[in-house]
Amino acid sequence: MTTKLLKFTLNGEMTEVAVSPSDMLVDVIRDRLNLIGTKKGCGKGECGACTVIMNGEAVNSCLVPAMKAMGAAVETIEGIGGPEKFHPLQESFMDLGAIQCGFCTPGMIMSSKALLDKNVNPTSEEVREAIAGNICRCTGYVKIEEAVFAAAKKMRENQIGRDRNEQF
């Protein structure tokens, strides 16, 4: 089988990995690059557990041929924050009980981040649209939606803070 060298930016770092044309991005991320935060719940675009952000948009990495990532910027849960500094979404998911089994969590957070990156003041319809492709069987989505709104609020405040700092 022919392999190709996939070059892309993963969580801000230039990454090179040999892939075959039939490889899916999710498997490259999980198995080859060992970033297990991106989950695989179906492999068919039905559950959203594998959601990553590619060039600013949330996509199911199980439906993305790895080669499509050529030259792209891909973000996974590992890239958005960690114990040193959590992303506001991670903080609010932890604080508001939006995490139960945690299997949907990385995908859910990535879908939410793709939304908030573009719109820090979403309506509840927009939040639901953003996460409707992420199945969560544990939470009933209630606390997840609350967490997205809480994070949005925090991001708005941070933005105001930043804007102020820039002014002075």
- Residues in region 48-67 near other proteins by CB under 8 A: 48-49, 51, 57-60, 63-65, 67
| Calpha distance 48→57 (Å, rounded) | 13
Among 28, 145, 149, 155, binds other proteins (CB under 8 A): 145
Supply the angle between the helices 142-167 and 88-95 in degrees, to the nearest 10. Answer: 140
* 88 contributes a contact to other proteins by CB under 8 A: no
Given ligand FES, other proteins, none, residue 112, with its beta carbon under 5 to 8 Å by kind, binds none
The DSSP-derived string for 5-32 is: EEEEEETTEEEEEEE-TT-BHHHIIIII
Q: Among other proteins, ligand FES, none, what binds residue 70 when CB lies within 5 to 8 Å by partner kind?
A: other proteins
Q: What angle do CA 158, 78, 9 make, to 5 degrees?
A: 95
Tokens of residue 36, six digits: 């297990």
Does residue number 60 form part of the binding site for ligand FES (CB under 6 A)? Answer: yes
The CB-of-14 to ligand FES minimum distance in angstroms stands at: 25
Residues 6 or more apart in contact with residue 43 via CB below 8 angstroms = 24, 26, 50, 62
Query: Whole-number minimum distance, CB 159 to other proteins, in Å?
Result: 22
Question: Is 43 one of the binding residues for ligand FES (CB under 6 A)?
Answer: yes
CB 158 within 8 A of CB 88: yes
Interface residue with ligand FES, options 6, 19, 47, 58 (CB under 6 A): 47
Could you list the residues that contact ligand FES (CB under 6 A)? 40-43, 45-50, 60, 62, 99-104, 136-139
